[in-house]
């Protein structure tokens, strides 16, 4: 069974499952959920984002338009 089908079936199941079953499933994956949610609590990640934003806003780094990125990808694919 494809993962997308499994996700859909799990989503439907959880939407209508009784409270006890939902809590049991949540308990099994709670730690992993909290790790993903806490991504923005990572001070190093936030510092990196701030640094890159500052570089972009000050013009100290070269950026590319979406069209330039697509063109570079096409050229790289041809090599």
| pLDDT tens-digit series, residues 26-77 | 999 998 887 766 666 677 888 888 999 999 999 999 889 999 999 999 998 8
Longest dimension (CA), the chain: 57
In angstroms, rounded to a whole number, what is the distance separating the alpha carbons of residues 23 and 73?
46
Indicate whether 20 pLDDT > 70: yes
Note the pTM of the prediction, 2 decimals. Answer: 0.42
- pLDDT of amino acid 37: 61
**Strand (E) or helix (H) holding 24:** helix 19-37
Q: What is the residue extent of each domain of the chain? A: 3-78
DSSP alpha helix (H) spans, the chain: 3-16, 19-37, 43-58, 66-78
CA distance 15 to 22: 9
Confidence of residue 6 (pLDDT cuts 50, 70, 90): very high
| CB-based contacts of 72, cutoff 8 Å, min separation 6 | 64
């Amino acid at each position: 069974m494809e993962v997308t089908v499994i996700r859909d079936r799990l989503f439907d199941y959880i939407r209508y499952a009784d409270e006890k079953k939902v809590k049991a499933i949540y308990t099994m994956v709670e730690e992993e959920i909290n790790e993903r949610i806490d991504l923005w609590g990572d001070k190093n990640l936030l510092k990196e984002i701030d640094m890159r934003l500052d570089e972009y806003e000050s013009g100290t780094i070269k950026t590319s338009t979406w069209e330039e990125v697509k063109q570079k990808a096409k050229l790289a694919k041809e090599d």
